[in-house]
Structure 1
Amino acid sequence: MCRNRFTQILSASAAALLLSAVMLSGCGKTETTAEGPPAAPESELGTATAIPGAEASSGQPDLSQTETVSFQSGMDVGAIPMPFEVEDVTGPNKGDTLCYRCLYGERPVVGIFVRELDPKAETLIQQIDQEVASHQADKLAAFVVLLTDDPAKVKPELKKIASEKKIQHVPLTVFAGTESPLGYNVKKEAAVNVMLWEGDVKANRAFRTGELDDAGIQEVVEDTRLMVN
């Protein structure tokens, strides 16, 4: 009986030792978790991927795409000026109604059509008067046509300009009505429209109110010189 009791004790002890071994063998294991992607190298952190077509703009306009648009009025280059009558106010035929287009014939001519006589327009007339004086040998001629609904009212102003600016070679004339003479196509928006012809139209420059400046005056002068040289 004692032997059996001892055997039971040994069996119980062995079982206890086996259970302890099993429990100890599980220690140190961690719960299995899903592993993420490997961390990026430190050198790649903070970098951004450029979006195609999203490059930063320099903010400067492409000047090669810039186009200057001029105000269009008057006859086309190559057109033939039509006859029309004006009343001469300050020229050699003052007081008469005549056709300066017809009188000048095939000579090189600067025709200055105006609706407004501001200081710049007066300077332009003065400059062309000087050009006519300098190119007498080339038979250069010019005349000014003021388009007006009230010729009687503006005549004193034209006489004053001719006197103050010493205009001696360019007749200042009036055309009854603010509409353009037939065929000259002077638009209502044109305050000054200069057309140069010698048989046919060689150049045409138009300016709306306030647009005529020193540069514009010089361009007309250069056009005049090119026509006679």
Structure 2
Amino acid sequence: MPVVRVARMLSAVTFGFLYCVVCVTGCGNSGQVTGSQDDHSATVAASSAEEIETEDSENNSDQKNTERVTYQSGMEIGAIPLPFEVSDVTGPNKGKTLCYRCLYGERPVVGVFVRELDESTTKLIQELDAEVDAHQDEKLAAFVVMLTETPAEVKPNLEKIAAKYHIQHVPLTVYEGATGPPGYNVKQDASVNVMMWEGVVKANRAYQAGQLKPEEIKEVIADTKLIIH
């Protein structure tokens, strides 16, 4: 009996030892598999992140092609334009002092604030005049405001531009004061600031001297789709 007991005890010890070895070995393999799965998951996650980043980069690239970041000036999107008076130089209200913000009310409106009347600005006025003409049914309206401390000196130039380029749908006006009307936030070094609203501001683009190029003019005109329905 003692011999049998000793044999059984040795068998039990041997079995226990072998079981422990198997368990330890198995845990090691299990850990390696888990690590391998983690590495695979990390690789997949990294690959997905790269794909998302690439997609975002492509989307951002497309957005930059259609809505390039420009010089910042003027009202923020969603702001409500305040009333202000101008001296009208051309159009049906020539010679009058009036508020076009009030006159146009809730219509889709393009307000162009300028400090220079160079070739690019004149081209923008021409393109805008044609756009307003093409969207009479949608009641699109626009007006140009010359910001100046010397209204009497610039009025003849506005009249010449309107006559030379047959500007019929966009009145050219003068605001006395280079800082511009309160609430419109036209910066001092903004040569051209175009804001579009329909109740609230829907688009805003501004340019310093020399920045308004043919491509920028196209972008301004394209912005009218934001206020035309």
Q: State the match for 2:184 in structure 1.
A: 184
TM-fit CA distance, 1:142: 0.2
169-178 or 218-227, which moves further after superposition?
A: 218-227
Q: State the match for 1:193 in structure 2.
A: 193
Q: Deviations over 1:160-217 (max 9, x none)?
A: 0001111000000000010120000000010000000000000000000000000110
Q: State the match for 1:59 in structure 2.
A: none
Q: State the match for 2:71 in structure 1.
A: 71
Checking the alignment, whether the CA contact within 8 Å between 2:111 and 2:195 is kept in structure 1 is: yes
Q: State the match for 1:213 in structure 2.
A: 213
Q: Deviations over 1:108-167 (max 9, x none)?
A: 000000000100000000101001100000000000000011111111100000011110
In structure 1, distance between residues paired with 2:189 and 2:112: 15
Give the 3-state SS of the residue equivalent to 2:227 in structure 1.
helix
Q: State the match for 2:86 in structure 1.
A: 86
Checking the alignment, whether the CA contact within 8 Å between 2:203 and 2:223 is kept in structure 1 is: yes
Give the 3-state SS of the residue equivalent to 2:129 in structure 1.
helix
In structure 1, distance between residues paired with 2:207 and 2:69: 12
Q: State the match for 2:110 in structure 1.
A: 110
Greater helix proportion: 2
Q: State the match for 2:202 in structure 1.
A: 202
In structure 2, distance between residues paired with 1:145 and 1:175: 6
Q: State the match for 2:149 in structure 1.
A: 149
Checking the alignment, whether the CA contact within 8 Å between 2:202 and 2:226 is kept in structure 1 is: no
Q: Which runs of 4+ in 1 moved over 3 A?
A: 64-69
Give the 3-state SS of the residue equivalent to 2:125 in structure 1.
helix
TM-fit CA distance, 1:70: 2.5
TM-score (norm 2): 0.70
TM-fit CA distance, 1:91: 1.7
The one-letter amino acid of 1:168's match is: Q
In structure 1, distance between residues paired with 2:77 and 2:197: 9
Q: Give the greater-gyration-radius structure (CA).
A: 1
Q: State the match for 1:165 in structure 2.
A: 165
RMSD, aligned CA: 1.6
Q: Output aligned runs, 1:42-57, within 5 Å.
A: none
Q: Kindly tell me the number of residue pairs found equivalent between the two proteins.
A: 166
Gaps of 5+ in 1: 1-63
In structure 1, distance between residues paired with 2:70 and 2:110: 20
In structure 2, distance between residues paired with 1:129 and 1:226: 17
The one-letter amino acid of 1:196's match is: M
In structure 2, distance between residues paired with 1:107 and 1:161: 26
In structure 2, distance between residues paired with 1:162 and 1:176: 20
Checking the alignment, whether the CA contact within 8 Å between 2:89 and 2:174 is kept in structure 1 is: yes
In structure 2, distance between residues paired with 1:168 and 1:82: 25
Q: State the match for 1:11 in structure 2.
A: none
1:96 has 2:100 as partner: no
Give the 3-state SS of the residue equivalent to 1:217 in structure 2.
helix
